[in-house]
A and B are shown apart, each in its own frame.
Chain A
Amino acid sequence: MKKLLTGNEAVARGAWEAGVKFATAYPGTPSTEILENVATYDEIVSEWAPNEKVAVEATAGACMGGVRSLCSMKHVGLNVAADPLFTFAGLGVNAGAVIITADEPGMFSSQNEQDNRHYARHAKVCLFEPSDSQEAKDMVKEAFAVSEEYDMPVLFRMTTRVCHSKSIVACQDRQEVTDRPYEKDVKKYCPLPAFAKGMQVKLADNFKRLETYSNTTPFNYIEDNKSEIGIIGSGVAYRYAKEVFGDTASYLKIGFTYPLPMEKIAAFAKDKKTLYVFEENDPVMETEIKAAGIDCIGKEKLPTMGELTPDRIRKALFNETVETIHPNPEMILPRPPALCAGCPHRGAFYELGRRKDLMIFSDIGCYSLGLMPPYNATDAMICMGASISGGHGVQKAFDIKGDHSKKVVSVIGDSTFFHSGITSLLNVVYNKSNTLTIILDNRITGMTGHQQNPGSGYDLKGEEAPIIDIEAMVKACGIKELITIDPNNLQMTKDAIEWGLNVDGPAVIITRWPCVLKKLSSMDKDEFPTAFKQVCTVDVEKCVGCKKCLKSGCPALAFDTANKKSGILKDVCVGCGVCAQICPKQAIEVEAR
Chain B
Amino acid sequence: METKNIVLVGVGGQGTITAAKLLTTGLMEAGYDVKMSEIHGMSQRGGSVSSLVRYGDAVQSPVIETGSADIVVAFEKLEGLRSLEYLKPTGKLVVNDTEISPLSVVIGTSTYPDGILEEIKSKSDCRVMQASKMADDLGNNKVTNVILLGSVIKLMGLAEIDWESIISKNVKKQFIDLNIKALKAGMDAV
Contact = CB atoms under 8 A, between A and B. Distances in A.
A551 B107 contact: yes
Given A327-B85, A331-B116, A449-B44, A336 B103 contact: yes
Given A338-B45, A338-B106, A550-B108, 16 more contacts: A4-B28, A132-B62, A160-B39, A164-B37, A166-B34, A166-B35, A167-B35, A311-B65, A322-B66, A331-B113, A337-B42, A337-B47, A372-B103, A373-B104, A555-B101, A571-B141
A334 B104 contact: yes
Contact of A239 (B25, B62, B111): B62
A36 to B, nearest CB: 12
Contacts of B85: 324-327
Nearest to A369: B45
Contact of B106 (A161, A166, A557): A557
Contacts of A373: 103-104, 107, 109
Interface in B48-87: 48, 59-63, 65-68, 78-79, 81-82, 84-85, 87
A331 B81 contact: yes
Nearest to A551: B107
A151 to B, nearest CB: 35
By secondary structure, the B interface counts as: mixed
A557 B81 CA distance: 23
Contact of A550 (B65, B84, B106): B106
B34 A311 contact: no
Nearest to A104: B41
Contacts of B43: 337
B35 A338 contact: no
A340 B124 contact: no
B108 A4 contact: no
B61 A243 contact: yes
Interface string A333-349: 11111111000000000
B41 to A, nearest CB: 3
A310 B106 contact: no
Pairs A-B, 10 closest by C-beta atoms: A109-B41, A322-B67, A165-B62, A337-B45, A324-B67, A337-B42, A165-B37, A337-B47, A243-B61, A335-B102
Contacts of B41: 29-30, 108-109
Q: Using C-beta atoms within 8 Å of the partner chain, give the interface range for chain A.
A: 35 or more
Nearest to B101: A558
B112 interface: yes
A239 B42 CA distance: 26
Interface of A: 2, 4, 29-30, 108-109, 132, 160-161, 164-168, 236, 239-240, 242-243, 307, 309-311, 322-328, 330-340, 366, 369, 372-374, 447, 449, 517, 547, 550-551, 553-555, 557-559, 561, 571
Contacts of A166: 24, 34-37, 62
B103 A553 contact: yes
Nearest to B72: A325
Nearest to B52: A165
B168 interface: no
B61 A239 contact: yes
Nearest to A449: B44
Contacts of A108: 39-42
Contacts of B62: 132, 161, 165-167, 236, 239
A554 B82 contact: no
Q: Name, among B12, B60, B66, B101, the residue most crowded by chain A CB atoms within 10 Å (CB to CB).
A: B60
